[in-house]
A and B are shown apart, each in its own frame.
Chain A
């Protein structure tokens, strides 16, 4: 009998939702346990970093790596798990595109620290303490990872074999991918897996009427028609700029898409693609009226690049005296 598949699951800058999505495969997790041995999974099992350091190179068959690269620990683990794994999968939107933690690329490290450790109303920090990479205590030295100015995607720091986006990837798709891994049926390297190759709109059952819009409204200010396309009702929905795979889950819950599955194969910059989609449905006589209509969009950066800022052409906000 051949050896069982060796799996590792790791999280860098993440929320743990990807881990829970794996558990949301429910009783199928038992099939996974029958076919594979898990050697690293901090959320669920007790292994230490030293265990991973001690494995021979290429010991792990498949590593599902979720989370963005936010600090030196995440980067170290990316390099380590690349070396120790035959197949490295960027699992979830944070590893694939930066995800929600990637929104921090509107600021640099000092600005994040100043807000989190000083300026928030609930913080009392008169001595202005900040995290240090090294501090001397009476018993010796304590260290923390270095917090970077810029959030990066996994493939911006290491060679990635596959991308499986989603915030989180939906359990049905996870199981499809696990099946492909167990059956040795993975596609060519570099592919995005557990997705469709069209957009969320193709999975959305709302009725499209090819209507133009005069402007945009914020979603809490209107009660939309439950049957019709939200974008055609003036609600910004990233469906046309977003890869399918989720089954249009948010749309079924009356929420416009925010783009967590990232751009399709043909698109590099999801936000730019969404701007094209908006331009194509906007009723505008001239540049001034177009400017007024898109001016109603409350937060273009945080909406069009909600999950993909580090992977976009922008990558991050330019900040004067930005130190790398």
Chain B
């Protein structure tokens, strides 16, 4: 079995990695997309005043 790792995925916003597993004939057995990045907006937006969120959540993606 052969393994191809694409790390990082480029030309997009964010971080990503792809693992592709090939059998001995070179056919794709399986592929996994992984997202190695998390910042936790879900948690740290809690407790912030609602009128401030338009100034915080644009930083989820600046692209």
A contact set with B: CB distance below 8 Å: 11, 13-20, 42-50, 70-71, 73, 99-101, 103-104, 106-107, 111-112, 115-116, 120, 131, 137-140, 142, 144-145, 147, 167-168, 218-220, 255, 258, 298-299, 302-303, 306
Contacts and interface: CB of A to CB of B under 8 A. Distances in A.
A107 B44 contact: yes
Nearest to A118: B42
A13 B61 contact: no
Nearest to B39: A101
Contacts of A17: 58-59, 62-63
B10 A47 contact: yes
A167 B44 contact: no
B38 A147 contact: yes
A18 B61 CA distance: 11
A228 B51 CA distance: 21
B20 to A, nearest CB: 9
A155 to B, nearest CB: 19
A144 B36 contact: yes
A138 B10 contact: no
Interface of B: 1, 3, 6-8, 10-15, 19, 21, 29-30, 32, 34, 36-40, 42-44, 46-49, 51-52, 55-56, 58-63
Contact of B49 (A19, A107, A145, A299): A299
B39 A139 contact: no
Given A16-B61, A168-B62, A42 B51 contact: no
Contact of A138 (B15, B30, B42, B61): B30
A116 B40 contact: yes
Nearest to A48: B7
Nearest to B14: A16
A99 B59 contact: yes
22 contacts: A15-B59, A15-B60, A15-B61, A17-B58, A17-B62, A19-B63, A20-B62, A42-B10, A44-B10, A45-B10, A100-B59, A101-B40, A103-B44, A106-B43, A107-B43, A112-B42, A120-B42, A131-B38, A139-B3, A139-B21, A298-B52, A299-B49
Given A103-B56, A106-B43, A139-B29, 6 more contacts: A15-B63, A19-B62, A50-B7, A101-B39, A101-B40, A111-B43
A94 to B, nearest CB: 9
B62 A218 contact: no
A45 B3 CA distance: 24
A162 B16 CA distance: 28
A18 B13 CA distance: 11
